[in-house]
Amino acid sequence: MLQKILQTEPAQTNILIRLMVGAVFLSEGIQKFLFPAIRGAGRFEKIGLPAPEFLGNLVGGFEILCGALILVGLLTRLASLPLIIIMLVAFTTTKAEVLENQGFWELLHGSRTDWSMLLGSIFLLIKGGGYASVDIKLYQTNS
């Protein structure tokens, strides 16, 4: 099972996706703790999520942990799963209202980063860490 999680090809383009996805999620997670009123619990409360204090810390923690794992390419596939879930929840809780009140084009404009993070995370789930990742080094060692 671990071999399947670590398996990846040495594609050099994966590092670009890893750096983008990892850095954005790491940064966003840190900001949920630095600015909880606008990025963490306060934002979650504003959009009507239950237990906003708990969820703000939980999501922030997952973004920091998974973002850091993706940056170094350790357990990349596994780390991408919580981030995909976070992005799907973000879409459903924040973008449905934009579509309803402001229309399709505003939805597309306002969700461009969300789409990038979701698709980047899905890419990493499918392809793994790639070139210069800890995953590829561990996979080659254990093969």
Q: What are the contacts of 137-142 at 24+ separation with CB within 8 A?
A: 138/6, 139/3, 139/6, 139/7, 139/8, 142/2, 142/3, 142/6
pLDDT band at 69, cuts 50/70/90? very high
pLDDT tens, residue by residue, 15-50: 999 999 999 999 999 999 999 999 999 999 999 999
Average pLDDT over residues 88-96: 90
Average pLDDT, the chain: 94
Residues in CB range of 142: below 8 A, 6 or more apart: 2, 3, 6
For residue 73, what is the DSSP state?
Answer: T
Least confident stretch, 23-27, 117-121, 136-140 = 136-140
* 3 band by pLDDT with thresholds 50, 70 and 90: confident
Residue 143 has pLDDT above 90, yes or no: no
- CA 44/CA 5 separation, integer angstroms: 32
**pLDDT at residue 118 tops 70:** yes
Domain boundaries, the chain: 2-142
Instruction: State the pLDDT confidence band at 139, using cuts at 50, 70 and 90.
Output: confident
Is the pLDDT at 59 greater than 70? The verdict is yes
pTM exceeding 0.75? yes
